[in-house]
Each structure stands twice: as structure tokens, then as C-alpha cells.
Structure 1
Amino acid sequence: MTRQLILIEGLPGSGKSTIAKMVSEILIEHGKKVRLVQEGNLDHPADYDGVAFYSAEEFSSLVDAHEACKHILERGATTYQDGFLIPYRKMKEEFGVDFPDHVVQEIFSNDIYELPFEQNVKLITEKWRNFTESVISADGDSITIFECCFIQNPLTMGLVKYNQSKEENVQYVLELERIVQLLNPLLIYIHQQDVAHTFDKAIQERSKEWSNGFIQYYTNQGWGLAEGYHGVEGTVKVLQARKELETEIYQLLKIDKHWLDNSEYNRAACQGGLEKILKISL
């Protein structure tokens, strides 16, 4: 069965972006057609980034409240099921100052990753179904590589944001597995032995704005808030809980999967490990 999807997962700072690029490069060197889709892609074929969902009534109220932006909102929004999808980040890039920041911020409150858990699950799983169907109907030989949207994003909603039960978190990911199984997916999970060290490295390498926002997100809601966690230390505890759940989910998954230890951040060793994984998996 043709391999059409590779999933790269792991905690923040584990090396997902670097390894996703390495996988792409290795495949291209072996003559494969590759589509690399990394975190933050505003045109993600199976996920949403910078996209809000409004019911028809909510969208009508939004347009009425911002008459000056009516043409932008109506041009940018697309009908979807019983409402509208608004790709507000792409719209901001296109229209700039004509699409005011306060309107963008208002729309953000309906971002698909700000919606209630059940609504998020419905929209995301439907997007994955549409992606899978599009790949199958295309009947091509290209391999798509996704970074972090298969396990990380569901658990960011289920555990970190809303503190849903373990069963609900597990079932969210297992439903995605069921949806993509016809694509013969391969999961490569990037393991880090020391979660605290991994997060500290990410803090040192990334902006203060990123680290502050990440810490607030992980400790001011969901499981972190319920446990009373604060600051860097509290964030690490939430990440450790997330890692434990990801490990449990990894063990439950029936798709082809490989556990790649990147604790030493040794690029050569990682390259060699990936070469072996891809050789036996493709």
C-alpha cells in the first residue's frame, strides 16, 4: 500500500520542525514527490491556523457591527455547513490597515482553537476527512508531511485548554487515526528524555513574547489551572503530563510508528535514524 502521509510529533523544542525538513530532504533525494506542511501554515490542508468559525446569525451580527469592513468580511468569509469560516490572518495580510486590529481581535475569539471542545473536534475531524478524501481522489504518488497537528493540537485543546477526560483526549486522536488510515500513514515521534531541559532550550532560542504566551496558555487554563501551576516550573509539569498522555496514545495507535530519541540534538545521529526508519517504512 502506498505511503501517502508522514506525521511528525513531539513536545515543543523537541526538534519537530528540523526533523520534518530532514524527512522531506531525504525523501526528495530518493526521488519521492513531497509536500511539507509545517506548523503555522495558513493554508493547511487538514487543520486550521488563523481561521474562525461563525454561525450564520453570528456572522450577520459581525458584519452589522463593522459596516466599514463589510466588503472585506463578505469577500474573505466562505460558507461552511451552517455558518462561515473566516481566515482572518490571511485577510489581515491581504488588507492590512483596512482590516483593523480590533476587528481581527474580535474575530479571534471565535478561532477554531478557541471554540468549545466538542465544536473544535467536529470541525477538525471534518477537515481531516476532507483532506483524506482529496488525497485519495487525486490518486497521486506524493507524500504529505505534517508537523504536530495529529497529536499535539488535539491535546492542546483537550488537556491544556479544557482539561477534558483522558478518554476524550485519547478518542480525539484515535478518530484522526481512523480517518487517515487509508493513506497508510507513518508516525515519527520525537522523544526528549528531559522535558524541563527541552522547554528551557525552547525558551532560550525563541522570543520572550513566545515564552510568556506559552506559559500563560499552559498555566492559566485547563489542566494547569486546575492543578494550580504557575510559571516555567508549572508549565513543565503540564508538559510532563502531556508527554505521559502522548506516550500512552502512541502505544495505542495501530498505524506504522517509530520512536526517535533526539535528546542529544545530534543532527548526524538523527539523520542516520531517519534514514533507517524511512528505508524500512517506504
Structure 2
Amino acid sequence: MTRLFIVEGPPCSGKSSTAKYIGERLSKMGRRVSCVDEGTGEHPADYENSAYVTGGQLASFPPGLREMVRSSGEARVDGYVLSLSKFGGAALQRLLPYKIYDALPWEAEMPVMLDKWERFAEGAEDHTVHVFNCVLLQNPMCETMMRFNFPIEQSLEYIGKIAQAIASLDPAVVYLKDNDIKGSVQAASGGRPGWLESVIKYHEEGAYGRSIGAAGFDGYIACLNERQRRELEILEKLEIKSLVLEDPGKDWAGAYRELGQFIRT
């Protein structure tokens, strides 16, 4: 029986609303549900606003900060993972170069993130269904593809390791395929002040964006279209139950009917 649903898709495709719908349907079916949206705080299977500092790196910190890291961080792999929300001022500035997803080299970041997935799966309660979004495809692709410009084979290798780590939860992926990403982003961006500018900059400055000369809004959309293409290709190759909803935004009622049937299987 599925104990983990993950909703994926490009930005502005309706992932958060769909994850909420899945959680509500499961609750009505009598299942105990833990629904965690992206960016809502500490995530049980992913790192948000966190840093990772190895023991060797910590030795170079000022004694006071060194003690703060040891007392507030989690000892993981060969160092400490800590929430940056617990720090401010000079201490925060000292830790930003070690931020997960934004600053760490891949060889340091990858084992820490896999460790998080493995610990989540091992500790997941038998009678709880978890509902997440973005964490299986979007976040790994933002790293392996957008930030580092790795080939799709390397992205698949890493995502495949995550799939293996959570196999005991009989996971299921719901992918919201958007054939008009540009239109969806344009329609939704007005309600997110400053968001579009920041994501355009992120994609322009990433290794993949630089490799294709991505510039401005159209460059951002080009990155997203290719990311969606790769994500769907990877999803087909994973040994994981999945449902691809084609342009659900055109008919949410119909999409949710199809999704309801998928949840019951």
C-alpha cells in the first residue's frame, strides 16, 4: 500500500493544490496523512534553508560559532547539518558558503541529501501516508541539471538512488504535465511579487542556463521546457508507480477524477 505520494511538475502547474487534494482524499478514506508543502519549514525528507559543515571545515570557525554549530546542528555523514533560521548577523554570513542547494559542491551535497532520504524512509510510521511535492524530480533536477549542467544520465542515477531509498514506502508520483509552461507562468507570476525576477536570475546564472545562453523570461521558459522533458523521460525509467496528468489546468475537475481513481488503486 502506498505510503508516499509525491507531486511533480513545472512551476505554476498546481503542485501545492494537488498535494493538498491528495491529502484530503486520503483523509476521507480513513488514512492518517502528513502533507508537507515545499518551503513550509523543516522537511522530513529534504533540506530547506540548511547548511552542511564538515568537521574539518568547522575547525576553522571561531570558537563561539563552532560551539553554536555543534549544539544546534545534527551530526550527519562527516559533519553537521544545521538550520540557517537559527542564525543571524555575522554567524549567518559565515555559514552561507555551506548552504545546501546553493553553495555546496555536488560531491559534498549528494551524500548528505541521500542520507536524509534514507533516514526518512527508515523512520516512516507504518500507518501514515506522506504527501510531498517537488522533492523527487524538481529539486534534484534544479541541482543536477540547472546548477551543475550534468547530463540526464547523471540526474537519473541520483534520482534512481532516491527511488531505491524510498522503495519500502511503495511510492507513487503524480506529474502535472504542462504543454504551455510560458502561459501558466505568465498567469501566475502576477500574484508572486519578486518571484519571477529571482527565478529568471537563478536560471540565467546556472551552468545549464549559461550553456544555452538563457536570457530573460524566454530563456527561463526554455530551461523549464527542457527540464520537464527530462523529468518525464526519467520518470518513465524509474521503477515507481506514476500518473501523468496532461494539462490538468484546462480541466481540474476531470484531472481530479482521474487522480481520485489513481489514489484508490
Q: TM-score if structure 1 supplies the norm length?
A: 0.88
Separation of aligned partners in 2, 1:45 and 1:148: 13
CA contact (8 A) 1:177 1:253 kept: yes
Other structure's SS at 1:61 match? coil
Q: Is the 8 A contact 2:174 2:242 kept in 1?
A: yes
Q: Show CA shifts across 1:82-107 (max 9, x none).
A: 21112112x14xxxxxx32x432331
Q: Shift of the alpha carbon at 1:272?
A: 1.8
Deviation at 1:73, TM superposition (A): 3.7
Deviates more, 1:264-273 or 1:230-239: 264-273
Q: Distance in 1 between matches of 2:94 and 2:201?
A: 20
* Other-structure match for 2:174: 188
Cα distance in structure 2, aligned partners of 1:85 and 1:146 = 21
Q: Is the 8 A contact 2:69 2:80 kept in 1?
A: no
Task: Report the alpha carbon displacement of residue 60 of structure 1 after superposing the two structures with TM.
Answer: 3.0
Change (3 A) 1:120 1:81: closer
Against the structure 1 CA distance between its residues 71 and 83, is the aligned structure 2 distance closer, same or farther, given a 3 Å change threshold?
closer
Determine the structure 1 residue equivalent to 2:139. 153
Q: Does 1:120 align with 2:105?
A: no
1:221 aligns with 2:221: no
Answer whether contact 2:248 2:255 (CA < 8 A) is retained.
no
Question: For the Cα contact (< 8 Å) 1:15–1:262, is it kept in 2?
Answer: no
Deviation for aligned residue 1:263: 4.3
The alpha carbon displacement at 1:12 in A equals 0.8
Match of 2:118 in 1: 129
Report the equivalent of 1:252.
237
In 1: Cα distance, 2:111 partner to 2:77 partner: 11
Partner of 2:46: 47
After TM superposition, where is structure 1 displaced by more than 6 Å over at least 4 residues in a row? none
Report the counterpart of residue 27 of structure 1 in structure 2.
26
In the TM superposition, what are the counterparts of 1:34-73 in structure 2 within 5 Å? 34-64=33-63, 67=64, 72-73=68-69
CA–CA separation in structure 2 for the residues paired with 1:127 and 1:214: 26
Kept in 2, the 8 Å contact 1:8–1:189? The answer is yes
1:198 aligns with 2:184: yes
Q: Report the residue type matching 1:112 in the other structure.
A: I
1:270 matched to 2:259? The reply is no
Contact preservation (8 Å) 2:77, 2:111: no
Residues 219 and 225, structure 1, Cα contact 8 Å, conserved in 2: yes
Cα 1:263–1:271 change in 2 (3 A) is: closer
Write out per-residue CA displacement over residues 170-219 of structure 1, whole angstroms, 9 at most, x where no aligned residue.
111111111111111111111111121122223222122x2111111111
- Corresponding position of 1:77: 73
1:111 to 96, 99, 113: 99
Provide the rounded CA distance (Å) in 2 between the counterparts of 1:63 and 1:211. 38
Query: What is aligned with 2:15?
Result: 16
Checking the alignment, whether the CA contact within 8 Å between 2:74 and 2:81 is kept in structure 1 is yes
Are the equivalent residues in 2 in contact too, given 1:219–1:229 (CA < 8 A)?
Answer: yes
1:74 is displaced (CA, Å) by: 4.0
- Calculate percent identity across the aligned residue pairs: 25
The equivalent of 1:178 in structure 2 is: 164
Report Cα offsets for 1:214-273 as digits up to 9, x if no partner: 111111121111111111000001111101101111111221110113443544233322
What is the number of residues matched between the two proteins?
A: 264
Asked whether the equivalents of residues 13 and 249 of structure 2 are also in contact (C-alpha less than 8 Å), the reply is no
Q: CA RMSD in A?
A: 1.7
Query: Is the counterpart of residue 86 in structure 1 residue 82 in structure 2?
Result: yes
DSSP 3-state at the match of 1:44: coil
Letter of the 1:12 counterpart:
P
